[in-house]
Structure 1
Amino acid sequence: MPSIQQRITTAVSDASPSLARVGHWMSAHPIQTLSCSADEVASLTGTSVAAVNRFSRAAGFDGFAHLKASLGKELESVVDPVRKVGGARGKARGDVDIDADALQAAAAGPQVQRAAGRLLKARNVFVLGLGASSFVAGYAAHVLMPYLPQVYPLAGPGGTEVAARRLSHCAGTDVLLALSLPRYSTATVRMARFARERGTHVIAITDAAGNPLAQQADSLLLAPAQHSVMPSSALGALVVVEALASAVMRLNPDAVRIARELSEAVLAHLTTDGYIPDSNDKDET
């Protein structure tokens, strides 16, 4: 079924010049459309209230009010951050709306252990997160890399196109760990679908079972992401990532050896006993 925005775009192609102006403006300003009255849209487009309503009916709605309500439902996740910022103006605090019990539940579920076991069996693990989720995905790759045979972060220089090319080698012996928090990336959903069609097991970390990425998941790890001001909080996803990495470490029989070798490798780059080497320090001869 076409989206509301697609219906508006389609209606423009068959509209008269005055109605097309209304449609072009709505297509270019979908968020602003939600905050405008029919009078305001008419003024901004140099048309009339009658033209605004006629275009809305041409797009398949009962009128502008019906179009605006339908568009608001479709764009809810995009508009929500605007509403949050508006509601927070003048307030001193911007609290994360996640309590400790919710974080504990996200990290302690049996699904985390099952996902960790699946990661340990994979030939290759691809880690994907775009937009704000890319930073959490990068951390996931960082903490998992020492304890799994092959971990490939997909996001990075080159953007979505390069991520898709890297994922093109996935197969049934692999796992895709995909992260998506509001606002959701359509590219992440498309790549998860591609991987699943190739037989790759998809582990999704996201905030709600009903969102698009969750529908592509073989294993779903839910991470609370509510925030009173920002579009979402990454705290829950970070907790789930650390719980998943901890489970991988506990299940990996070589974890102690790997941790020891890793510690020895980085020791020369760490400060110890409060001593910070000076750049002018020289080795004694």
Structure 2
Amino acid sequence: MAMAASWGSNRGFAESRVPLTTRIRGALGGLQPAMARVGSFIVAHPKDVAGMTISSLAEATEVSEATVVRFCREVGIDGYSQLRLGLALELGARSEVDDRFEGSTDISPEDTLASAVEKILYADARSVEDTAKSISMETLAAVVGHVTNARRIDIFGVGASGLVGLDLHQKLHRIGLISFSHIDPHQAMVSAALLDDTCVAIAISHSGVTTDTIEALATAKKKGATSVAVTNAPRSPLAAAADYVLTTSAMETTFRSAATGSRLAQLAVVDSLFVGVAQQRFEESMHALDETRRVIASKRVHGTE
């Protein structure tokens, strides 16, 4: 019999540890254009903004001072003075590597292969590190409990997010859970319509605005399934459609469409979820892993083990 999740509450974990610029970056997709312009400027120039007056920031981003104040409230900051203090604290805790890549990991035609690789690896490492700080242990524990006891788990995602969904599917399948991963939008909707309150639906989208993924999750929730979103945008439509949101904090390079940092951040969340579920049903999981490992062993070249 699978045990329910037993971790205690860890409310405030994400908020207290995640860097301010990371929080702002994750909120950009849900902000109005003027406020998003303020946020993008802060993420790109945190040292400058830490020393700016509110009027200077408003002028630099071509918005009113009132818009800057609204921006602070939208991202959960009491006021502009708290924004500057938060930036100062974050900057003081940064490493030399963080300072070197401050503002941008964009890759230009002038970059050498070595410098391009250095930027990519930095962005990837920061994505995983910031995701570890952003994820709520309380939320993760709740999702682990639902997945552990679900009759069926359906996973939705397209593009690179769909590939992450396939990874989660094969992990859950290997420990004996009934799971399906849908990268075809029509098949996702058909499957979502067949779920009920004994099921869990997990939707994965970096931006949180992919309509196919949102519609599939919303349909699953309407049918009674527990709905979970894995996204970099906690204020997005996908997050709004979910019962639980597991937040990533990915730092992307110029080639955003290649989904480098976001894919690794999503995989970090998927791995955390999988390990939590496997731990809760430890004996069943180990037995299933042993059985599947045994049948796959015959497919290896003789003498390579």
What TM-score do the two structures reach when normalised by structure 1? 0.60
Alpha-carbon contact 2:105-2:252 (below 8 Å) kept: no
Are residues 1:258 and 2:285 paired?
Answer: no
Find the counterpart in structure 2 of residue 128 from structure 1: 156
2:255 corresponds, among 223, 226, 230, to 230
Query: Secondary structure in 1 aligned to 2:221?
Result: helix
Q: Distance in 2 between matches of 1:222 and 1:238?
A: 12
1:269 alignment partner, SS class: coil
1:249 equivalent in structure 2: 278
Matches of 1:148 and 1:179, distance apart in 2: 22
Measure the CA separation in 1 of the matches of 2:161 and 2:284. Answer: 30
8 Å contact kept, 1:119–1:148: no
Matched, 1:89 2:144: no
Seq. identity, %: 19
- Contact preservation (8 Å) 2:106, 2:253: no
Q: State the one-letter code of the partner of 1:154.
A: H
Describe the SS at the equivalent of 2:159: coil
| Structure number with higher relative contact order (C-alpha < 8 Å, ≥ 6 residues apart) | 2
User: Which whole-Å deviations, capped at 9, do the CAs of 1:185-239 have from their partners, x for residues lacking one?
Assistant: 1111111111111111111111121112111111111112221222242110001
Moved more, 129-138 or 90-99: 90-99
Specify the SS of the correspondent of 2:242.
Answer: coil
- 2:223 matched to which residue of 1? 198
Q: Which runs of 5+ in 2 are unaligned?
A: 1-103
Q: Is the 8 A contact 2:197 2:226 kept in 1?
A: yes
Taking the TM superposition and a 5 Å limit, the aligned residue runs for 1:141-220 are 141-155=169-183, 159-182=184-207, 184-220=209-245
Following superposition, which runs of at least 4 residues in structure 1 exceed 4 angstroms of deviation? 84-87
Structure 1, unpaired ranges of 5+: 1-83, 276-285
RMSD: 2.7
Contact 2:201/2:227, CA 8 A, preserved across alignment? yes
Aligned to 1:114: 142
**SS in structure 1 of the partner of residue 298 of structure 2:** helix
Q: Deviations over 1:152-198 (max 9, x none)?
A: 1122xxx3112211222111111001100138411111111111111
Q: Deviations over 1:88-121 (max 9, x none)?
A: 3322314253525314335682322221111011
